[in-house]
A = this chain, B = another copy of it.
Amino acid sequence: MSLAYYYDFMSQPSRALYIILKMSGVQFEDCPVALRNGEHLTEEFKTNINRFQKVPCIIDDGFKLAESIAVLRYLSAKGKIPEYLYPKYFVEQARVDEFLEWQHITLRITCALYFRTIWLEPLLSGKRPSPEKVETLKAHMELNLDIVENVWLESTDFLCGNQMTVADIFAACEIEQTRMADYDVRIKHPKIRAWLKRVRAACNPHYDHAHQYVYKISGTAPNSKL
């Protein structure tokens, strides 16, 4: 096979792209990268796989490409992603792009920082963050969850209309990450709660497969949690 996919299920965009590849029926060489073991930090990885030393990334017939959304667009241009997941008509595509560009420094960064500070950093350093820091990070995250709840999901079943797209998959994978930091998004956000159920149902069995470690680490059985 010509397409190699490098990923770690502990990485939110890695899960999103994995689910999208599976739903699209794209054949790929499965290349898991154990971030916990620093497999992305070697010179060999930097030289031969991804100069930014991150996942996810692909090598497609020798063409190395990083950044999940750039990869998605590249594969869409190659005709590998079905139109219902990422529209080809430019006006509909713009609406999905609007979310994909919006989420980086809003939903993604605040959910990821919450997860890192509450779960990952204490694991690595043995030190717990101060309650004030936790509250500040939670407030920033909830501000963006409120925008998902009240603006993106204002009047539609999914983020960019009544059809699920890649935007929903990227967003759900970011929000699921906070489970591991013992955050339950469903308490304050009933629309997100119902939407997450719809996204999971539309993406399974790939959604549960990609989230297996999230479920395990958070100790949440998906059938009761979603």
| Contact surface of A with B, Cβ cutoff 8 Å | 51-52, 63, 65-71, 73-74, 77-78, 90-91, 93-95, 97-98, 100-102, 104-105, 108-109, 147, 151
Cβ–Cβ < 8 Å partners of A94 in chain B: 63, 65, 70-71, 73-74, 77
Q: List 21 A-B contacts (CB under 8 A).
A: A65-B98, A66-B98, A66-B102, A67-B97, A67-B98, A68-B101, A69-B97, A69-B101, A70-B97, A70-B100, A70-B101, A71-B94, A73-B93, A73-B94, A74-B90, A74-B91, A74-B93, A74-B94, A74-B97, A77-B93, A104-B105
On chain B, the residues within 8 Å of A108 by CB distance are: 105
A151-B51 contact in complex given A66-B98, A98-B66, A104-B105, C-beta closer than 8 Å: yes
Q: Are B101 and A77 in contact (CB under 8 A)?
A: no
Min CB distance A145 to B, Å, is: 15
CA distance A22 to B131 in the complex (A): 49
B-chain residues with CB within 8 Å of residue A101 when the two chains form the complex:
67-70, 104
Chain B residues in 8 Å Cβ range of A98: 65-67, 70
Q: Which 5 A-B pairs have the closest CB atoms?
A: A104-B104, A77-B90, A67-B101, A70-B97, A74-B94
